Amino acid sequence: MILHPTVIANLLAAYTSSLMLVYAAYYGLQILRHWNIESGSELQLILERKTYLVSTVLSYVFGLQLLSLFLFVFTADSLRTLFVGAMCAAGTLNVNAFGYPTLVLKVVNFVTSGLWLVLNHADNQGYDYPLIKKKYLLLIVITPFIVLETLLETAYFLGMEPDVITSCCGSLFSGEKKAGLGSELASLPAIPTLWAFYLTVIITLISGLVFYFKNRGGYVYALLSFALFIIALIAIVSVISIYIYELPTHHCPFCIIMEDYSYIGYLLYVLLFGGVVAGSGIGIILPFRKIESLKHALGGFINKLALTSVLMYGAFTVIVTYRIIFSNLIM
């Protein structure tokens, strides 16, 4: 256990959001079981009021989720000095078996939370809570993952043992035994990945524009934007990072958020995460376009999502291309 202020902040955020979410899920369950918009019973009135509480709570929780994703990586990065062989967050996350699973869950939870917010916003457009059951079903699905994330994060931070001087000879030999703690990540061949990345970008952007102007192929775009998200993450590890570091052997996806690279990673990841939430969100709410009370409001919202997503992915590609062209690394 490392009693570092930032670690305490991480755990505080994790437990706060888990508790709030469990609280919200409890009411979500009640809503799923007893919701009846036709009824004027006291229970229904209470539930209608509770929906305001639950959506306020969840907006906070999901905002917190976004912040804590970055805080987590940031913490891992700043703890690197405590471990032999850890050069950045990649090494620190490897200190025990819980680091990477926590990170993966954080990313997954961030995306699903974003999708929930999209659904929530769509629901608020209609006067008769048209999507309420689907919304709370999704909430109940998300909750266990966030609780699991909190548990993994706790295990990760509790299991950390810094390599400090021991009474016999310093931590020299504990260092030797952890020789595999390097920060190098396995990666795909650079140039083919780069081609795959640009090809996906082009197809996705075209499909997004087609959907925006002609209103066709929404599901295709939702799928493509999710695929682009995954491919872009892979591309960051295998090729984009090496252009930013100008070092053909350095594949780390975390060092780009450090000061040395003018925090460009934050911009890239925010664009990427924003792009996937807005893009895939279209796929979530498209089926509800036909609902009577949502007919008018939803079209504009879906268009806005499509535009946001296309712009974010576009900006991501422009920045990445700029860094690749003006990089001193030539391959």
Partner 1 sequence: MNVWIEKQRYIIDFTISSLMRRKVKNIGLLVLYTLIVFILASTMFFTYAIKREAAFILEGSPEIVVQNLVAGRHDLLPVSYLEEIKSIRGVANVESRLWGYFYDSLVGANYTLMTPPQNQDSHKNQGKTTVVENDNGDPHANHEAHALFEYEGALLESGTLIIGNGVARMRGIGKDDYMPFMAADGQIMNMKIVGKLSSVSELVSSDLILMSEADLRKLFGISPDKVTDAIVTVRNPSEIQTVAGKIKKRIHSARPIIRDEILRTYSSIFNWRGGMMIVIFSAAVLAFVIFAWDKASGLSAGERQEIGILKAVGWETGDVIQMKFWEGAIVSLSAFLGGVILAYIHVFFTGSAIFEPALEGWSNLYPNFTLTPFINAEQLTTLFFLTVIPYTVATIVPTWRAATIDPDSAMRHTGG
Which region among 29-37, 127-135, 168-176, 311-319 touches partner 1 (by CB under 8 A)? 168-176
CB nearer to partner 1: give 165 or 186: 165
Considering only residues 28-57, where is the footprint of partner 1 by CB under 8 A?
49, 52-53, 56-57
Total of chain residues touching partner 1, rule CB under 8 A = 43
Does the footprint of partner 1 cover residue 7 (CB under 8 A)?
yes
Long-range CB contact pairs, 71-75, < 8 A, 24+: 71/6, 71/9, 71/10, 71/13, 72/10, 72/102, 72/103, 72/106, 72/153, 73/103, 73/254, 73/257, 74/6, 74/257, 75/4, 75/6, 75/7, 75/10
C-beta closer to partner 1: residue 259 or 330: 259
Round to whole Å and give the CA distance between 289 and 163: 57
By the rule CB under 8 A, 162 interacts with partner 1: yes
Segment near partner 1 (CB under 8 A), from 64-72, 148-156, 189-197, 210-218?
64-72
36's tokens:
């009846």
Q: In the stretch 80-99, what mask flags binding to partner 1 with x, by CB under 8 A? A: -xx-x---------------
Does 154 participate in binding partner 1 (rule CB under 8 A)? no
Stretch that binds partner 1, among 3-11, 89-97, 245-253, 284-292 (CB under 8 A): 3-11
Which C-beta is closer to partner 1: that of 74 or that of 313?
A: 74
What own/partner pairs with CB < 8 Å and gap ≥ 24 does 142-148 have? Answer: 142/21, 142/109, 142/112, 142/113, 142/116, 143/21, 143/22, 143/24, 143/25, 145/105, 145/108, 145/109, 145/112, 146/17, 146/18, 146/21, 146/61, 146/65, 146/109, 147/18, 147/21, 147/22, 148/105
Does position 330 bind partner 1 by CB under 8 A? no
Residue linked to tokens 């979410």: 21
Joined together, the tokens standing for residue 58 give 């969840």
Least separation in angstroms between residue 19's CB and partner 1 is 9
Q: Quick check: helix, strand or coil at residue 112? A: helix
Nearer to partner 1, 168 or 330 (CB): 168
Q: Is 247 in the site for partner 1 (CB under 8 A)?
A: no
Please tell me whether residue 169 adopts helix, strand or coil conformation. strand
Among 12, 22, 37, 43, binds partner 1 (CB under 8 A): 12
* CA distances from residue 258 to 2, 40, 117, 168 in whole angstroms, order as listed: 22, 56, 29, 36
Work out whether 180 is an interface residue with partner 1 (CB under 8 A).
no
**169 or 330: CB nearest partner 1:** 169
Contact segment (CB under 8 A) with partner 1 among 102-110, 167-175, 208-216, 223-231 equals 167-175
Decide if residue 127 touches partner 1 (CB under 8 A).
no
Instruction: Specify the residue, 203 or 264, whose C-beta has the smaller distance to partner 1.
Output: 264
Closest approach, Cβ 82 to partner 1, in A, equals 6
Distances (CA, A) of 18 to 14, 23, 57, 68, 101: 6, 9, 11, 12, 17
Site for partner 1 in 206-225 (CB under 8 A): none
Residues forming contacts to partner 1 in the complex (CB under 8 A) are 2-10, 12-13, 16, 20, 49, 52-53, 56-57, 60, 64, 67-68, 71, 74-75, 78, 81-82, 84, 124, 162-165, 167-173, 175-176
